[in-house]
A and B are shown apart, each in its own frame.
Chain A
């Protein structure tokens, strides 16, 4: 193999190879860096809380003076929900179902102290909730109610209640370990169960329980009540679509929090990232083209040598191997350099971001690495096949 390499490395143009390495490194760096940057800054837009998926909006009717007097109607009719579902921007819309019974919840601390509060429950279809199926399920045979709480409840407890009462602060993971006692009652019927917090959401201001539990408990405690929803959860394709704002204004609906604005920012971030990734891919594709051209040229210049090796009994794979190693090696080097550079650049911008947003959580670099690896494998495969085809053309005397 050493002799073959010695023989075939003639005509390798260092300049062409360096040109490819630089161009491909630039392309790969742009692709990987933009993907990594997107992943790093996406949580900052408040859209991602790991509980409610990002393209969902929560819609309610504007509360007017009549509602305050108890004369208005802030619930959605079936016709209104159906109309919203038929809008082109809407992928899916469902109502919040609320508990039709009283709920009180208590928790005890060691030392005998306990606290309790009146609550309410709401549910949305499970498809909107990004919690594992195993955690977000209710089994009437072994009843523990999974609950998702608004994240600011935890802040109120930690920074308001706990500090004033000298109680320990609770982290999100600790909250999941606390057993809550829930008592539900409606008229003469009542039910006591245990509940467990499975997550906190900053995007949804309600106490969320699984849809299956809501159906079960409403059927058990308030079988005759069938209320209309007062809030809707809506999945949209493009949060930046102007038609959404127009539709909401025309129907006097409003959005909870700034879901649409941050949805738009995320959407633009996605578009921008896609554009930058596209430019990076284009540069990578062009540099790959340069590499293939220079290898083709190299094979062309060494055609006679390759033919002689084949006539001596070398197989086409053995003869193509030095060029395949060269191409795959060059691409592997580019991948290694690009990942290293992404790490370096990221190290710098993350320091800046942490200064600005101390609560920011670090995101793994693995997905970016795997994208780079996938690109590398694709290019390596094309390289290997292209060189082999070229050698086979020499075998069949088409070169």
Chain B
């Protein structure tokens, strides 16, 4: 997939509002493969909704989302599943990890589906992000910051054209955030993917090509 095109996209909850001043809602916008985007907004402006729409998790919007030339509303269940394993990867704001599995198992459960990385490569990423010693720890016993890094590794173990990061460093200090960004960018560059980062203030330090204010 080369582009994601948004045509007059607007969440259903914002319908009828006349005071919207957004560079994304109700605009025509094209997100291109290989570029870095920062979506900035205050709480309640619809950042997570935007990610949910791109993941096919929600469809309560007006307007149109096109993956290349295909309307997202026309995708079948099977096509969405394929998209989620081969084109668009996400780090969810609420992480969506499985507390009863260890950190490594949380990553492997995705990697078993995509068979994209070896266990050794995954372990290297754990080391690079400073949680190598927590690899066999249950996720429920890790801090939120550590869980964010596990969720990031899980987001990287798949082929992708776009990587959506919904507030990825909200609970990380600058040093760990930088380590995470470096590891992520190595993988993103090797795949030529685009990155779309949302942020309510503190954001991942990257050479963004475009900042979009919601």
| Known pairs A6-B101, A311-B84, A392-B77 / 20 extra A-B pairs, C-beta < 8 Å | A3-B101, A3-B108, A3-B109, A4-B109, A6-B105, A7-B100, A7-B101, A305-B98, A311-B90, A312-B84, A312-B85, A313-B81, A313-B110, A313-B158, A314-B81, A314-B113, A316-B77, A395-B77, A397-B57, A397-B58
Between-chain CB contacts (< 8 Å), 10 pairs: A3-B105, A6-B105, A7-B101, A10-B100, A308-B96, A311-B92, A312-B85, A313-B84, A313-B113, A314-B81
Supposing A308-B98, A311-B57 touch, asked if A3 and B112 sit within 8 A by C-beta, the answer is yes
B residues in contact with A392, CB < 8 Å: 77
Q: Does B114 interact with chain A (Cβ within 8 Å)?
A: yes
A88–B130 Cα distance when bound, in Å, is 90
- CB distance A313 to B85 under 8 Å? yes
Please give me the residue from chain A that is nearest to B60 by CB atom: A397
A381–B152 Cα distance when bound, in Å, is 40
A residues in contact with B158, CB < 8 Å: 313
A residues in contact with B109, CB < 8 Å: 3-4, 7, 309, 312
A6–B99 Cα distance when bound, in Å, is 12
Shortest C-beta distance, B35 to chain A (Å), equals 24
A6–B57 Cα distance when bound, in Å, is 25
Q: Does A126 interact with chain B (Cβ within 8 Å)?
A: no
A residues in contact with B17, CB < 8 Å: none
A3–B58 Cα distance when bound, in Å, is 27
The residue among A4, A10, A305, A313 with the most chain B CB atoms within 10 A of its own CB is: A313
Taken residue by residue from 99 to 121, chain B's Cβ proximity to chain A (1 for < 8 Å, 0 otherwise) reads as 01100010011101110000000
Supposing A3-B101, A6-B101, A7-B100 touch, asked if A312 and B110 sit within 8 A by C-beta, the answer is yes
Shortest C-beta distance, B65 to chain A (Å), equals 17
Shortest C-beta distance, B135 to chain A (Å), equals 15
A315–B114 Cα distance when bound, in Å, is 12
State the 10 A-B residue pairs at the shortest beta-carbon distance, nearest first.
A313-B85, A313-B84, A308-B96, A315-B81, A3-B109, A312-B110, A313-B81, A313-B113, A7-B98, A3-B105
A residues in contact with B55, CB < 8 Å: 311
Please give me the residue from chain B that is nearest to A312 by CB atom: B110
Interface residues on chain B, number (Cβ under 8 Å) = 24
Shortest C-beta distance, A2 to chain B (Å), equals 8
Shortest C-beta distance, A151 to chain B (Å), equals 65
Where chain A touches its partner, the secondary structure class is: helix
B residues in contact with A397, CB < 8 Å: 57-58
B residues in contact with A312, CB < 8 Å: 84-85, 96, 109-110, 113, 154
A314–B78 Cα distance when bound, in Å, is 9
Interface residues of A (CB under 8 A from B): 1, 3-4, 6-7, 10, 305, 308-316, 392, 395, 397
B residues in contact with A316, CB < 8 Å: 77
Set A4, A6, A309, A315: member contacting B77, Cβ < 8 A: A315
A310–B78 Cα distance when bound, in Å, is 11
A residues in contact with B82, CB < 8 Å: 313
Shortest C-beta distance, B213 to chain A (Å), equals 27
Supposing A3-B105, A316-B77, A395-B77 touch, asked if A311 and B96 sit within 8 A by C-beta, the answer is yes
Please give me the residue from chain A that is nearest to B89 by CB atom: A313
A residues in contact with B113, CB < 8 Å: 312-314
Please give me the residue from chain A that is nearest to B106 by CB atom: A3
Please give me the residue from chain B that is nearest to A7 by CB atom: B98
B residues in contact with A1, CB < 8 Å: 112
A308–B108 Cα distance when bound, in Å, is 14
Taken residue by residue from 135 to 161, chain B's Cβ proximity to chain A (1 for < 8 Å, 0 otherwise) reads as 000000000000000000010001000
A1–B108 Cα distance when bound, in Å, is 11
A326–B108 Cα distance when bound, in Å, is 23
A311–B96 Cα distance when bound, in Å, is 9
Please give me the residue from chain A that is nearest to B155 by CB atom: A312
B residues in contact with A314, CB < 8 Å: 81, 113
Please give me the residue from chain A that is nearest to B52 by CB atom: A311
A380–B152 Cα distance when bound, in Å, is 40
A92–B126 Cα distance when bound, in Å, is 84
B residues in contact with A395, CB < 8 Å: 77
Shortest C-beta distance, A385 to chain B (Å), equals 16
Taken residue by residue from 33 to 67, chain B's Cβ proximity to chain A (1 for < 8 Å, 0 otherwise) reads as 00000000000000000000001011000000000
A4–B100 Cα distance when bound, in Å, is 11
The residue among A1, A3, A395, A397 with the most chain B CB atoms within 10 A of its own CB is: A3
- Segment 63-88 of B: residues with Cβ below 8 Å from A: 77-78, 81-82, 84-85
A397–B109 Cα distance when bound, in Å, is 22
B residues in contact with A308, CB < 8 Å: 96, 98
Shortest C-beta distance, B54 to chain A (Å), equals 12
Shortest C-beta distance, A331 to chain B (Å), equals 27
A397–B100 Cα distance when bound, in Å, is 24
A316–B84 Cα distance when bound, in Å, is 13
B residues in contact with A6, CB < 8 Å: 100-101, 105
A311–B100 Cα distance when bound, in Å, is 18
A3–B104 Cα distance when bound, in Å, is 11
A6–B98 Cα distance when bound, in Å, is 11
A395–B100 Cα distance when bound, in Å, is 22
A316–B112 Cα distance when bound, in Å, is 16
Please give me the residue from chain B that is nearest to A3 by CB atom: B109
B residues in contact with A309, CB < 8 Å: 109
Shortest C-beta distance, A182 to chain B (Å), equals 73
Shortest C-beta distance, A330 to chain B (Å), equals 23
A347–B141 Cα distance when bound, in Å, is 58
B residues in contact with A7, CB < 8 Å: 98, 100-101, 109
Shortest C-beta distance, B144 to chain A (Å), equals 17
